[in-house]
């Protein structure tokens, strides 16, 4: 009998329908919240609903997809919208009060006496106080950063403050219009549930912990500033030029492995060979000039002897001239 009962329960359509949602959440009084509820694809055409109560069987229905007043464009405080393509319906609640705290249910209506609806529950806590959208912010040096500070309904009329942690004298307070403005900091309060703090022209000294406050409530925020990196180059524009392919015959002047042109062995050998060749050419030319001068002197002597032949008996009055060594060499 027990086995049969378990089999019947397992075969019920509702046992296969799974609805899931987020975990327990907290929201500030006067704020709003949107909850996603996911369901199985086979229940696209079914009615979805949102109800409040500790037990599902006795919960109070707040919104249904088949109720026009619960549509997103309706005037109700609670709205519901179904997205069949994503298999999710979302529920939005606004202007929450502490009395709205409690258990809530996402439900898919299956219908029938023997079929229970598929549901998922979560607990919503409506609290008084403050919170921030992000407690860890980062921006580059010279840029700006904006902090979003949320507060509950009971703090709407309170002045809003932005202070550096550990230094009460650094606090900046909004005026009667809900604003504060200086060269670096601008604060704006929407008088409902949010005030924003914008820090402009960030410097490295702006890095650190801050807090935004309203009344006796405050919440900490950390601001990180990333330093700008500037690269200074002292090299000439020609040295900064980079090419993908290098010409092996031309070495870059800023290459640590390159050497001056005159230190290349091939160039040194070429210059030496050129000097030797020039020296030999000059020496050969000089020898050739000397040989021409020698033949010219001999020819002139022979011409003189031919032009003035000795006659017989002239040797009696002839004189003998002795030439020194350089003259002899010239004659020869």
Query: What residues make up the domain containing 90?
Result: 15-127
Are residues 149 and 220 located together in one domain of the fold?
yes
Q: Could you tell me the two tokens for 68?
A: 């026009």
Is the sign of the CA dihedral 56, 61, 63, 67 positive or negative?
positive
Report residue 10: phi and psi, to 5°.
Answer: -65, -35
Instruction: Check if the beta carbon of residue 202 is closer than 8 Å to that of residue 141.
Output: yes
Give domain status of residue 304, yes or no: no
In the prediction, which pLDDT does 171 show? 95
CA distances 62 to 31, 51, 75, 91, Å, are 18, 5, 13, 10
**One domain, residues 53 and 157:** no
CATH code for position 88 = 2.60.40.10
Nearest-angstrom CA–CA distance, 160 and 155: 9
The structure tokens listed for 13 are 């359509």
Report the distance separating Cα 299 and Cα 296, nearest Å: 5
At 260, the pLDDT band (50, 70, 90 cuts) reads: low
Give the pLDDT of residue 9: 42
**pTM of the predicted structure, to 2 decimals:** 0.57
| Domain identity same for 94 and 135 | no
Categorize the per-residue pLDDT at 289 as very low, low, confident or very high, splitting at 50, 70 and 90: confident
Report how far apart, in Å, the C-alpha atoms of 130 and of each of 145, 174, 198, 205, 220 are.
Answer: 20, 16, 18, 27, 10
Are residues 135 and 122 located together in one domain of the fold? no
Is pLDDT above 50 for 11?
no
274 and 208 in a common domain: no
* Segment 148-166, tens digit of pLDDT: 999 999 999 999 999 999 9
Of 90, 107, 127, at which residue does a domain stop? 127
Element (H, E) at 119: strand 118-127
Residue 318 lies in a domain: no
The predicted pLDDT at position 273 comes to: 83
Q: Is 267 helix (H, G, I), strand (E, B) or coil?
A: helix
**In this predicted model, what pLDDT tens digit does every residue of 165-204 receive, in sequence order?**
999 899 999 999 999 999 999 999 999 999 999 999 999 9
* Per-residue H/E/C for 231-245: CCCCCCHHHHCCCCC
The percent of residues in the chain predicted with pLDDT above 70, rounded, is 70
pLDDT band per the 50, 70, 90 thresholds, residue 271: confident
Range from 198-202, 242-246, 321-325 that averages highest in pLDDT: 198-202
Q: What's the pLDDT tens digit per position in 39-80?
A: 999 999 999 999 999 998 899 999 999 998 888 887 778 999
- Total count of domains within the chain: 3
pLDDT tens-digit readout, 13-47: 444 558 999 989 999 999 899 999 999 999 999 99
List beta partners, residue 163. 211
Residue 55 CB partners (closer than 8 Å, separation 6+): none
pLDDT in tens, 295-320: 665 555 555 544 445 444 544 454 44
Q: Which pLDDT score, from 0 to 100, does residue 264 have?
A: 63
Do 82 and 120 lie in one domain? The reply is yes
Q: Count Cβ atoms within 10 A of the Cβ of residue 62 and give its class: 0-12 exposed, 13-18 middle, 19 or more buried.
A: buried
Long-range residue pairs from 278-285, CB within 8 A, at least 24 positions apart, any chain? none
Tell me the C-alpha distance between 157 and 197, whole Å.
18
Token pair listed for 240: 């900064």
What average pLDDT does the structure give for the chain?
Answer: 79
Among 20, 67, 192, CA closest to 78:
67
For residue 18, what pLDDT is reported? 85
Q: Is residue 119 part of a domain?
A: yes
Residues with Cβ within 8 Å of residue 138, at least 6 apart in sequence? 145, 223, 224, 225, 226
């Amino acid at each position: 009998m027990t086995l049969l009962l378990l089999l019947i329960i397992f075969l019920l359509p509702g046992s296969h329908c799974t609805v899931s949602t987020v975990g327990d959440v907290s929201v500030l009084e006067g704020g709003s919240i949107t909850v996603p509820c996911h369901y199985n694809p086979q229940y696209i055409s079914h009615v979805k609903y949102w109800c409040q109560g500790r037990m599902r069987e006795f919960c109070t229905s707040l919104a249904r997809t088949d109720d026009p007043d619960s549509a997103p464009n309706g005037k109700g405080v609670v709205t519901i919208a179904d997205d069949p393509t994503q298999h999710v319906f979302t529920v939005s609640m606004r202007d929450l009060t502490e009395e709205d705290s409690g258990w809530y249910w996402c439900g898919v209506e299956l219908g029938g006496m023997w079929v229970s609806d598929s549901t998922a529950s979560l607990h919503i806590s409506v609290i008084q106080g403050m919170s921030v959208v992000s407690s860890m912010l980062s921006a580059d040096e010279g840029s700006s950063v904006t902090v979003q500070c949320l507060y509950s309904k009971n703090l709407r009329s309170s002045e809003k403050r932005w202070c550096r942690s550990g230094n009460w004298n650094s606090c900046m307070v909004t005026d009667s219009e809900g604003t504060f403005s200086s060269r670096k900091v601008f604060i704006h309060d929407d008088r409902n549930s949010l005030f924003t703090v914008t820090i402009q022209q960030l410097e490295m000294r702006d890095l650190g912990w801050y807090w935004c406050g309203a009344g006796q409530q405050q919440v900490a925020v950390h601001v990180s500033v990333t330093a700008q990196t500037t690269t200074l180059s002292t090299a000439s524009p020609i040295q900064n030029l980079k090419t993908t392919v290098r010409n092996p015959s031309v070495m870059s002047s800023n290459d640590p492995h390159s050497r001056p042109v005159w230190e290349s062995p091939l160039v040194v050998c070429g210059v030496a060979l050129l000097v030797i060749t020039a020296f030999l050419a000059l020496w050969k030319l000089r020898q050739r000039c000397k040989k021409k001068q020698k033949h010219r002197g001999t020819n002139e002597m022979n011409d003189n002897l031919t032009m003035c032949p000795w006659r017989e008996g002239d040797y009696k009055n002839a004189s003998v001239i002795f030439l020194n060594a350089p003259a002899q060499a010239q004659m020869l």
